[in-house]
């Protein structure tokens, strides 16, 4: 059988001793993609909440874009999980008989809660007035779609719009802990596995959350810099600088927490330190030291610090922000990789390392993962077409 042959080859690449059942990596690249996607959702939402709850006025231009980005990625989020299940047709069982001691069982409920009661509801109240206006200006299927999306509402009076604004604020307040739960529970899924010392850590949900905030803010920043000019508008530098500022602080916090975890591990030097050191020095050297730390965190930190200190020109700043945004995406994706795949590369006997052979085709292969990462942008394009984040006047003015 081909699978057995692949495993035979894999077994020749094993270093040291692994339990015989450990030869196959159980959670593949799809499980790297999932926390990356929900991280973007949570991070984009936190950026949006800075506008509505913490009244950071400079960030207002990014608000609607952040919400649409969150929605676009949220719609794709269940797919990597479904595709990775051994029996995807039985996934409904999580709703029928969820095991209440399992963090994974809350996925369906948290997802539905966040999608329905936070994202969709907030987008509804945010866009309701505009949807009514646009539907009256459009014809054909678009008109009816907008009517449907606005739930056939008609009231665009001052009082109604004020109510909408207030509701958005309330939903955002509820949404912040919900976003923490949406992404934090993933961190808890890993952090609560005492069998795996790479994962088992009280900081795991916190690290997940902060790297999510970093990646979400960076993603919205990138999208803002690409989409606004594409739609004919001009980038608001005050907004961009503010976003970059928050990104800078978020990266500092995220980096500090990860460094703390690292120092703590080395200092306590528990039983697993030998195999974990070997893991980082050999299998994870490029993805952790080079991609996650150097290129994904230290370099962007340095660049953004330089921008802050030397007050560079607008065009230079834009270019550097863009580069930082890309580096951070790479870095956060590597972070997810290092956690998920890294945790499975060493044996629970602490005596050996195995390898991850990512297939190209196949339901858990590289191509599927790539598609899953691209589709949200397609969805975002559709959403932007239907519910533009900036009105024509905004695009023309600045």
Partner 1 sequence: MERRDFLKHLCWVISSGGIMSGLTADAWAAILNKDYDTTKHYYGMGIDIDKCIGCGRCMQACKTENAVPAAPFYFRTWVERYVIKTDRTVSVNTLNMESVAKPDVLPEKEVLRSFFVPKLCNQCDHPPCVQVCPVGATFKTDDGVILVDSKRCIGCRYCIQACPYGARYLHPETRVADKCTFCYHRLVKGLLPVCVEVCPQQARVFGDMKSIASPLGRFTRMNKIHVLKPSLNTDPKVYYANLDGEVN
Partner 2 sequence: MKDFFKNLPEQAVRVVVLFLILAVGLLAIRQFIIPPEMKDPVIQKISSTQREAAKGIKYAGAEICAQCHEKEPEIKKTGYHRDLACESCHGAAQKHADNPTDVKPESPRKRDYCVYCHQYNSSRPTGFPQINQETHNPRQPCINCHNPHNPKPPTTPRSCNACHAQIERAKAVSYHALIDCTVCHTAPEKHKSSPRTVIPTKPDKREFCGKCHDKGSPKKGVPTVDMAAHGEKYVCWQCHYPHTLGGI
Which residues are at the interface with partner 1 (CB under 8 A)?
1, 3-4, 7, 11, 16-24, 26-27, 84-88, 90-91, 93-94, 96-105, 107, 109, 113, 117, 189, 192-196, 344, 347-351
- What phi and psi, each to the nearest 5 degrees, are found at residue 233? -100, 180
Q: Are 74 and 123 in contact (CB under 8 A)?
A: no
CB of 17 to partner 1, least distance (A): 4
Residues 6+ apart with CB under 8 A from 337: 29, 32, 287
Number of residues lying near partner 2 (CB under 8 A): 19
- What phi and psi, each to the nearest 5 degrees, are found at residue 352? -165, 170
CB of 13 to partner 2, least distance (A): 25
Nearer Cβ to partner 2, position 168 or 206? 168
CB of 182 to partner 2, least distance (A): 19
Write the burial class of residue 383 (CB in 10 Å: 0-12 exposed, 13-18 middle, 19+ buried). buried
Question: Which range, of 2-10, 21-29, 70-78, 149-157, touches partner 2 by CB under 8 A?
Answer: 149-157
Give, as ranges, the residues between 64 and 103 that touch partner 2 (CB under 8 A).
Answer: 93, 96-97
For residue 376, give the H/E element and its range.
Answer: helix 366-386
Residue 348: name its binding partner from partner 1, partner 2, none (Cβ under 5 to 8 Å by kind). partner 1
What is the spatial distance between Cα 149 and Cα 386, in angstroms, rounded to a whole number? 10
Reduce the DSSP state of residue 16 to 3 states and report it: strand
Residues 6+ apart with CB under 8 A from 75: 115, 376, 379
Which of 104, 105, 121, 298 binds partner 2 (CB under 8 A)? It is 121
CB of 85 to partner 1, least distance (A): 5
Nearer Cβ to partner 1, position 270 or 315? 270
Nearer Cβ to partner 2, position 36 or 114? 114
Q: Are 240 and 85 in contact (CB under 8 A)?
A: no
Nearer Cβ to partner 2, position 17 or 152? 152
Residue 86: name its binding partner from partner 1, partner 2, none (Cβ under 5 to 8 Å by kind). partner 1
CB of 160 to partner 1, least distance (A): 20
Residue 229: name its binding partner from partner 1, partner 2, none (Cβ under 5 to 8 Å by kind). none
Nearer Cβ to partner 2, position 138 or 153? 153
Nearer Cβ to partner 1, position 97 or 139? 97
First to last CA, the chain: 63
Which of 138, 153, 196, 398 binds partner 2 (CB under 8 A)? It is 153
What is the spatial distance between Cα 283 and Cα 276, in angstroms, rounded to a whole number? 10
Examine residue 147 and tell whether it contacts partner 2 (CB under 8 A).
no
Query: Which among 255, 271, 131, 88 is positioned nearest to 197, based on CA atoms?
Result: 271
Question: Which range, of 116-124, 172-180, 235-243, 267-275, touches partner 2 by CB under 8 A?
Answer: 116-124
Q: By rule CB under 8 A, what string of x and - marks binding of each residue 155-194 to partner 2? A: x---xx--xx--x---------------------------
Q: By rule CB under 8 A, what string of x and - marks binding of each residue 125-144 to partner 2? A: x--x----------------
CA atoms lying within 13 Å on the CB side of residue 284:
25
CB of 154 to partner 2, least distance (A): 8
Examine residue 322 and tell whether it contacts partner 2 (CB under 8 A).
no
Structure tokens at 359: 């297939």
Which of 34, 63, 107, 124 binds partner 2 (CB under 8 A)? It is 124
Residue 321's region, left for phi above 0, alpha for psi from -120 to 50, else beta, is: alpha
Structure tokens at 92: 């409904």
CB of 341 to partner 1, least distance (A): 12
Q: What is the CA radius of gyration of the chain?
A: 23
Reduce the DSSP state of residue 344 to 3 states and report it: helix
Burial track 114-128 (b if 16+ CB lie within 10 A, e otherwise): bbeebbebbbbbbbb
Structure tokens at 171: 């939903």
- Interior angle at CA 273, CA 28 and CA 18, nearest 5: 50
| Binding stretches for partner 2 (CB under 8 A) | 93, 96-97, 116, 121, 124-125, 128, 150-155, 159-160, 163-164, 167
């Amino acid at each position: 059988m081909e699978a057995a042959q692949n495993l035979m080859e894999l077994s020749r690449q094993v270093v040291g001793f692994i339990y015989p059942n450990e030869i196959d990596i159980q959670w593949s690249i799809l499980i790297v993609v999932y926390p990356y996607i929900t991280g973007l959702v949570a991070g984009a939402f936190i950026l949006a909440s800075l506008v509505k709850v913490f009244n950071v006025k400079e960030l207002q231009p990014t608000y609607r874009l952040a919400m649409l980005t969150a929605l676009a990625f949220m719609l794709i989020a269940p797919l990597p999980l479904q595709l990775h299940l051994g029996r995807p047709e039985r996934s409904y069982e999580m709703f029928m008989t969820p095991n209440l001691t399992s963090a994974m069982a809350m996925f369906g409920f948290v997802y539905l809660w966040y999608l329905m009661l936070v994202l969709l509801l907030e987008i509804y109240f945010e866009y309701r007035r505009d949807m009514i206006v646009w539907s009256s200006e459009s014809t054909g299927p678009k008109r009816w779609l907008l009517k449907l999306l606005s739930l056939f509402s008609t009231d665009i009076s001052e009082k109604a719009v004020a109510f909408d604004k207030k509701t958005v604020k309330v939903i955002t307040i509820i949404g912040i802990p919900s976003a923490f739960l949406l992404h934090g529970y993933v961190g808890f899924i890993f952090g609560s596995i005492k069998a795996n010392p790479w994962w088992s850590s009280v900081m795991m949900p916190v690290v997940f959350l902060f790297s999510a905030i970093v990646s979400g803010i960076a993603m919205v920043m990138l999208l803002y810099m690409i989409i606004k000019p594409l739609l004919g508008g001009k980038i608001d530098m005050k907004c961009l600088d503010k976003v970059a500022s928050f990104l800078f602080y978020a990266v500092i916090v995220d980096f500090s927490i990860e460094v703390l975890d690292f120092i703590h591990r080395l200092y306590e030097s528990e039983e697993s330190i030998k195999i974990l050191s070997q893991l980082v020095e050999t299998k994870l050297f490029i993805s952790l030291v080079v991609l996650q730390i150097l290129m994904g965190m230290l370099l962007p930190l340095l660049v953004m610090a330089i921008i802050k200190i030397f007050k560079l020109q607008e065009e230079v700043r834009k270019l550097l922000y863009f580069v930082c945004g890309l580096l951070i995406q790479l870095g956060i994706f590597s972070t997810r990789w290092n956690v998920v795949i890294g945790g499975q590369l060493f044996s629970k006997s602490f005596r050996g390392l195995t390898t991850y052979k990512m297939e190209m085709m196949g339901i858990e292969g590289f191509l599927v993962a790539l598609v899953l990462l691209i589709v949200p942008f397609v969805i975002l394009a559709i959403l932007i077409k239907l519910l533009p984040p900036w009105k024509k006047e905004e695009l023309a003015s600045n």
